[in-house]
Chain A
Amino acid sequence: MSRPLSSRTTKPIIPAEPPVIEIVNLVKGFNGRNVLDGINLTVYRGETLVIMGASGCGKSTLLRCLIGAHRPDDGTVKLFGKELWGLAPKELDAVRRRLGILFQSGALFSSMTVGENVALPLKEHTDLSPEMIDLMVKVKLELVGLREAEHLLPAQISGGMAKRAGLARAIALDPELLFYDEPTSGLDPIMTGIIDGLIMDLARTMNVTSVVVTHDLKSAFRVADRMVVLNNGKVVTVGKPHEIRSCPDSFVRRFIQGPVEAKTAMFPKSAMDKGLDDVLDAEDAAQHVSRLREALAKAESEGRAAEVLRLKKELSTLESVPSGEGRGG
């Protein structure tokens, strides 16, 4: 379902059309500290905007402000041209019926089965017959590869499955606007590809506007029409993926490439190609290599040949640096 990066075509954005999301000078603070400090953003229909940034930079707070869960201290948030905090509860609900949210943990209702979770918005917000709702639930679950989990409770499924079920619930009403909070964290590479493909397909085939908060750079560059990098509650840069890649800002470069010395030492190109960067960050890798070396020394001193061979092989995979990149150690 996922497309290779090179074959991806960026959707033309039509700024003349009124934006689906319009954020003007958004400020939100907690305990005297501004988590969001003057954010300005617009998102247009059919566009997939990826929000990136280090942990604690305000991504989740921004998402919560966008769904009306946090009241901004200053500035405005407009969805579909309507200022969220100026709306009466019924009007706010009408706006919320047009959007879907995938929470980081899935946020499934624990007392309901996966199928009932997906059916809930359909039961509450549509006049569909129970048979039609049942059919819709099956279709949505099929889309995320969870057809067999319909009758299981959230406690009986894995975290990744819960996330996919959360996505099925988020798209149950075919929303015009979808928010994804870390959609691929905790998923295996195959499922990550499927979810990325689903995000792109929804945008392409149904013109769904998407806002994706993620740390997963591979996934981010794959799905994004535009990207925003946040740091300390401020927008560092906004641009198309190729613009972000070539952005000269030192924070953006560090964020995309990781700490240069650790990255080149521990994540040579060959290892990165094998997907190791999805599993370990640079700091973890350093610790991992250190642990491997200790284990190797111990195995050598104890004369465990098979173990020595295995550890050497693993270390050589991590340390085999192509010429010109230097050898890690």
Chain B
Amino acid sequence: MDVLLRFLGAIGHFGSVWAEEFGQMGLLVQRTMKSLPRMRPEPVAVQMIRFGIRAIPIVSLVNLFVGMIVAVSMSEMLISLNAVSRTAQIVAVAVTRELAPLMTGLVMSGFAGAAIAAEIATMNVNEEILALEAGALSPIRFLVLPRLLGVMAMMMCLTLIADILGMVGGYIVGVYMLDIPPLNYIQINNDSVKWPDIPKGLVKAAAFGLIITVVACRQGLKADGGALGVGRATTTAVVHSIMIIIAANLAFAILFNWTLAGP
């Protein structure tokens, strides 16, 4: 009985911690949106370069490999079904609908989320955030808003790049390892990519960008305890954003494949 009560207590504690965390993140989003009219383009551009342009190589490479992995993984089954040319279709659908936004989100959790959390946490423990507030300057407008807009915009751009590189990965495996004729591969690939899949992927990418930035900023802004606090904020930001991104991806999959498209 005692064990059961402790178990229920632990679940309750876990639930209340996460409920508070989500509530605080919601408030952060609301306050950030309120500062939107006072947005300036230069800081947003700086963040787009920091977290977007510099992430292109890593996002490209990861998604190239992901496309190749999907093609290799499916090849055995497709060969046995005598449908090896369908590799192009499977890769195109998997990449554009799910893998490109998801993998880009996961990569950016580490690339941008960790950097944002560490940067803001360091500013927090060094009293820079307090200095902003004491100088009547909003940390939300100065720090959160440019990062949020920059990461959201670049997540969409990076997801487009990821779509292309994922399909290129599938093409390399299909054409050079599975001996599918190049024109045949491209034809099936192009036919398989449905127009709504791309914007749906972009909506997911923007949402993942929001999750990454809000989680990272929240962790950074509540950090305390010196270097230890900075490390804790960074780790928590990455772990939480990965968990929330995967959960959100499931929600999007249900929404796009069942609710909007019908079961």
Tell me, yes or no, whether A binds B: yes
In the complex, are the beta carbons of B128 and A107 less than 8 A apart?
A: yes
Q: Which residues of A contact B137 (CB under 8 A)?
A: 120-121, 124
Q: Which residues of A contact B132 (CB under 8 A)?
A: 109
B101-139 interface code vs A (CB 8 A; 1 in, 0 out): 000000000000000000000110011101111111100
Q: Which residues of A contact B130 (CB under 8 A)?
A: 64, 67, 69, 103, 107
Report the separation of the CA atoms of residues A93 and B141 in the bound assembly, to the nearest whole angstrom.
Answer: 14
A36-73 interface code vs B (CB 8 A; 1 in, 0 out): 00000000000000000000000000001001110000
In the complex, are the beta carbons of A101 and B134 less than 8 A apart?
A: yes
Contact of A288 with B by CB under 8 A: no
In the complex, are the beta carbons of B136 and A107 less than 8 A apart?
A: no
Contact of A78 with B by CB under 8 A: no
Report the separation of the CA atoms of residues A108 and B127 in the bound assembly, to the nearest whole angstrom.
Answer: 9
In the complex, are the beta carbons of A107 and B126 less than 8 A apart?
A: yes
In the complex, are the beta carbons of A96 and B126 less than 8 A apart?
A: no
A119-140 interface code vs B (CB 8 A; 1 in, 0 out): 0110011000000000000000
Residues of A in contact with B, size category: 20 to 34
Report the separation of the CA atoms of residues A92 and B135 in the bound assembly, to the nearest whole angstrom.
Answer: 10
Per DSSP, are chain B's interface residues mostly helix, strand or loop, or mixed? helix
Total A-B pairs, Cβ < 8 A: 49
In the complex, are the beta carbons of A125 and B134 less than 8 A apart?
A: no
Write the nearest CB–CB distance from A218 to chain B, whole angstroms. 26
In the complex, residue of chain B having the shortest beta-carbon distance to the beta carbon of A173: B135
Q: Which residues of B contact A97 (CB under 8 A)?
A: 136
Contact of A264 with B by CB under 8 A: no
In the complex, residue of chain A having the shortest beta-carbon distance to the beta carbon of B135: A121
Contact of A10 with B by CB under 8 A: no
- For B126, give its contact among A93, A99, A101, A105 (CB under 8 Å): A105
In the complex, residue of chain A having the shortest beta-carbon distance to the beta carbon of B129: A107
In the complex, are the beta carbons of A110 and B136 less than 8 A apart?
A: no
Write the nearest CB–CB distance from B227 to chain A, whole angstroms. 14
In the complex, are the beta carbons of B131 and A101 less than 8 A apart?
A: yes
Q: Which residues of B contact A92 (CB under 8 A)?
A: 136
In the complex, are the beta carbons of A67 and B134 less than 8 A apart?
A: yes
Q: Which residues of A contact B133 (CB under 8 A)?
A: 68-69, 96
In the complex, residue of chain B having the shortest beta-carbon distance to the beta carbon of A98: B136
In the complex, residue of chain A having the shortest beta-carbon distance to the beta carbon of B122: A110
Chain B interface residues toward A at CB < 8 A:
122-123, 126-128, 130-137
Chain A interface residues toward B at CB < 8 A:
64, 67-69, 92-94, 96-97, 99, 101, 103-105, 107-110, 120-121, 124-125, 166
> What would be 16 A-B contacts, judged by CB atoms less than 8 Å apart?
A64-B130, A68-B133, A69-B130, A92-B136, A97-B136, A99-B134, A101-B131, A103-B130, A105-B127, A107-B127, A107-B131, A109-B123, A110-B126, A120-B135, A121-B135, A124-B135
